C-alpha cells in the first residue's frame, strides 16, 4: 500500500458515513475512482458506481463494498438540554457509554454519551442500558440552547481517529466497511492498470447496515453483470475473549477470507481460490450455511440470480469504536479482486453445470 492509497484509506475512515447519511464519504470515494474510471455515476440515494469498459465479449464483473457505518441518531431534545438517541444499524450498547461523539448537524457538534461515575453507582446494579435509555451531553443547559446547535434526526458517530498499532495494523471506527469500499476501489484501479479484458464495475453502496438497501437498488440497475464480488469485514476470532464455541478459523494477518455456502456461488468460489493460488495470495475459508450478512445476500438474487461471492477482511472487535485490521490483509483483498478479473475470459464461466 503506497502513500496515496493509504491517504485514501485514512480519508475514508475519517469521514463519517452513518447509514442514510453517506454523502460526504461517497464524495471521497467517487473522487478517487474518477481518476482512472471511464465513467462514475450515482443514483438518487447516493450509491456510487465506477466502470472500466472492457472487451464486449469478455465477462462483466462488479467489485462492491458498502459505504455506511453504524451510529446513532438524535431522537429527542430534553428540557435540561440532554439528547436522547436511537441506533443506526447494530450499535453496541455495551461500548457506547463514556465515549466522545460527534453530532453531524449543520455544523459538527461535540458531545459525550454520559456515564455516571463509579463512585455514584451501585455496582450490584451495573448493567448495559439500552441505547434508547442513554443520553448525549453537549454541554447545553436547557432545550433551547441545545436546539440552537442540533435537531431531531441529526446523525451521531463516535469521535475517533485512525490509530497505528504495531505490526502494520490499525484501529478505527467504521472499518466496517470503509475498508471494503477501499478494496473495491483499489481492486478496480489495479484491474484497470492491468488492462484486463473484462468490463469491471467498482460499487460503493449505501444503507447496508439497515437492510442491504443500496445493494438491492444497484443489483437491479446493473443488469449486465456476470458476477458480483462483495467485499466486507468478517470476525477475526483470534482474540482471547472469544468463546471456544464461537471460534472460527479466521485469523488476523492470514489473508483474505473466501466465504463458502449460502449466496456464495460455488464456481465463483473455485475461481477465486484458483486466482489466489496463481497470484500467490494466501486465503482463508469461512462457512456461511444460511446467509452471509453482507450485500451478497441482495446481489445474488438480482436480475434472476447473479453469481456472487463475499470476500472478507478479517476484523477484530466489529461494531465498536476500535475495530482492528491488518493492512496486509486489506492490500491482498485488492490484489485478489484484480487477479479474479484478470483471469475472467468467458461470460458463461461462472454458470453451474447441471
Higher pLDDT, 49 or 124: 49
- For residue 245, is pLDDT > 80? no
Same domain, 79 and 214: no
C-alpha cell at 315: 476484523
Q: Could you tell me which residues are beta bridge partners of residue 136? A: 83, 113
Q: What tens digit of pLDDT does each residue of 268-305 get?
A: 999 999 999 999 999 999 999 999 999 999 999 988 89
Q: Is residue 350 part of a domain?
A: no
Within a domain: residue 332? yes
Task: Enumerate residues 6+ apart whose C-beta is below 8 A from 201.
Answer: 49, 50, 51, 52, 60, 61, 62, 63, 188, 222, 225
Judge if 190 and 61 occupy the same domain. yes
User: Given 22, 69, 186, 208, which residue is catalytic?
Assistant: 208
On whether both 55 and 87 belong to a single domain, the answer is no
pLDDT band with cut points at 50, 70 and 90 for residue 314: very high
Digit-coded pLDDT (tens) for 86-116: 999 999 999 999 999 999 999 999 999 999 8
Q: Which of 57-66, 70-79, 308-317, 339-348 has the lowest mean pLDDT?
A: 339-348
Last residue of a domain, one of 98, 129, 158: 158
> Is 209 annotated among the ligand-binding residues?
yes
Residue 183 lies in a domain: yes
Query: Is the same domain home to 83 and 59?
Result: no
pTM of the model: 0.96
The answer to whether residue 354 is domain-embedded is: no
Q: What end-to-end distance do the CA atoms of the chain give, in Å?
A: 42
Q: How many domains does the chain have?
A: 2
User: Going by C-beta distance under 8 Å and a sequence separation of 6 or more, which residues neighbour residue 227?
Assistant: 59, 60, 61, 62, 265, 268, 306, 307, 308, 309, 344, 350
Question: Average pLDDT, stretch 314-321?
Answer: 97
Q: Return the bridge partners of 258, or none.
A: 285, 311
pLDDT score for 120:
84
pLDDT tens sequence across 212-222: 999 999 999 99
Write down which residue in 110, 127, 158 finishes a domain. 158
Looking at the DSSP bridge assignments, the partners of residue 314 are 234
pLDDT at 244: 67
Over range 128-144, report the average pLDDT. Answer: 97
Top pLDDT among 246 and 345 is at 345
Chain segment 173-212, per-residue pLDDT in tens: 999 999 999 999 999 999 999 999 999 999 999 999 999 9
Q: Are 131 and 86 in contact (CB under 8 A)?
A: yes
Helices (H), ranges, the chain: 3-14, 23-33, 143-147, 175-193, 213-221, 266-278, 296-299, 327-343
Nine-digit cell string for 159: 469521535
235 is in an annotated binding site: no
Closest CA to 32 of 48, 8, 13, 54: 8
Would residue 349 count as lying in a domain? no
pLDDT at 23 over 70: yes
Is there a binding annotation on residue 319? yes
> Can you tell me the mean pLDDT for 3-18?
98
pLDDT number for residue 250? 95
> Do 140 and 206 belong to one domain?
no
> What pLDDT does residue 92 have?
95
- Write the CA distances from 15 to 159, 173, 212, integer angstroms: 11, 10, 21
Average pLDDT of the chain, as a whole number: 96
Residue 282, domain CATH: 3.40.630.10
Write the CATH number for 125: 2.40.30.40
Mean pLDDT of 22-42: 98
Q: Is 125 a catalytic residue?
A: no
- Residue 27, C-alpha cell as written in the block: 464524495
pLDDT in the model for residue 123? 78
Q: Are residues 181 and 324 in the same domain?
A: yes
In a domain, 179, yes or no: yes
Q: Is there a single domain that holds both residue 240 and residue 182?
A: yes
**233 lies in which domain range?**
3-69+173-343
CA nearest 310: which of 240, 244, 250?
250
The pLDDT score that the predictor gives to residue 130 is 96
Segment 26-52 shows an average pLDDT of 98
Higher pLDDT, 85 or 116: 85
Same domain, 310 and 228: yes
Closest-CA residue to 263 (of 232, 294, 236): 294
Domain co-membership, 197 together with 122: no
Q: Could you tell me the CA-to-CA distances from 238 to 72, 221, 249, 295 in Å, in that order?
A: 29, 39, 8, 25
Do residues 148 and 200 both lie within one domain?
Answer: no
Q: In whole angstroms, give the CA distance from residue 220 to residue 342.
A: 25
DSSP state of 66: E
- 164 domain-assigned: no
What mean pLDDT do residues 125-153 have?
95
What's the Cα-to-Cα distance from 8 to each of 13, 222, 237, 263, rounded to whole Å?
9, 26, 28, 30
- Do residue 178 and residue 324 come from a single domain? yes
Q: Is 76 domain-assigned?
A: yes
Before 294, cis peptide (omega within 30)?
no
Same domain, 190 and 106: no
Return the pLDDT at 224. Answer: 94
HSE-CB for 62 with a 13 A CA cutoff = 30
Q: Please give the Cα distance from 248 to 110 (Å, whole number).
A: 38
Amino acid at each position: 500500500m503506497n502513500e496515496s492509497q493509504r491517504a485514501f484509506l485514512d480519508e475514508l475512515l475519517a469521514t463519517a458515513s452513518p447509514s442514510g447519511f453517506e454523502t460526504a464519504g461517497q464524495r471521497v470515494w467517487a473522487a478517487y475512482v474518477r481518476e482512472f474510471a471511464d465513467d462514475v455515476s450515482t443514483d438518487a440515494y447516493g450509491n456510487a458506481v465506477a466502470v472500466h469498459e472492457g472487451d464486449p465479449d469478455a465477462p462483466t464483473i462488479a467489485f462492491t463494498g458498502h459505504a455506511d457505518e453504524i451510529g446513532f441518531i438524535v431522537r429527542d431534545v430534553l428540557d435540561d438540554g440532554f439528547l436522547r438517541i436511537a441506533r443506526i444499524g447494530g450499535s453496541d450498547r455495551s461500548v457506547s457509554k463514556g465515549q466522545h461523539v460527534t453530532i453531524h448537524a449543520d455544523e459538527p457538534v461535540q458531545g459525550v454519551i454520559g456515564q455516571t461515575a463509579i463512585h455514584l453507582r451501585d455496582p450490584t446494579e451495573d448493567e448495559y442500558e439500552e441505547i434508547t435509555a442513554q443520553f448525549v451531553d453537549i454541554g447545553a443547559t436547557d432545550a433551547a440552547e441545545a436546539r440552537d446547535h442540533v435537531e431531531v434526526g441529526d446523525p451521531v458517530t463516535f469521535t475517533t481517529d485512525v490509530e497505528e498499532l504495531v505490526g502494520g495494523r490499525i484501529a478505527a471506527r467504521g472499518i466496517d466497511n470503509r475498508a471494503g469500499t477501499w478494496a473495491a476501489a483499489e481492486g478496480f484501479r489495479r484491474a484497470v492498470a492491468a488492462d484486463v479484458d473484462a468490463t469491471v464495475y467498482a460499487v460503493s453502496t449505501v444503507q447496508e447496515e439497515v437492510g442491504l438497501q443500496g445493494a438491492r437498488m444497484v443489483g437491479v440497475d446493473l443488469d449486465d453483470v456476470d458476477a458480483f464480488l462483495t467485499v466486507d469485514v468478517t470476525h477475526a476470532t483470534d482474540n482471547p475473549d472469544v468463546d471456544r464455541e464461537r471460534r472460527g478459523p479466521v485469523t488476523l494477518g492470514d489473508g483474505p477470507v473466501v466465504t463458502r455456502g449460502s449466496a456464495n456461488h460455488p464456481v465463483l468460489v473455485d475461481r477465486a481460490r484458483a486466482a489466489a493460488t496463481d497470484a500467490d495470495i494466501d486465503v482463508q475459508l469461512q462457512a456461511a450455511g444460511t446467509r452471509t450478512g453482507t450485500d451478497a445476500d441482495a446481489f445474488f438474487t438480482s436480475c434472476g440470480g447473479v453469481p456472487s461471492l463475499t470476500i472478507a477482511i478479517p476484523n477484530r472487535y466489529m461494531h465498536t469504536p476500535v475495530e482492528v485490521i491488518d493492512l496486509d490483509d486489506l492490500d491482498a483483498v485488492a490484489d485478489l479482486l484484480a487477479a479474479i478479473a484478470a483471469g475472467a475470459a468467458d461470460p458463461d464461466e461462472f454458470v453451474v453445470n447441471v
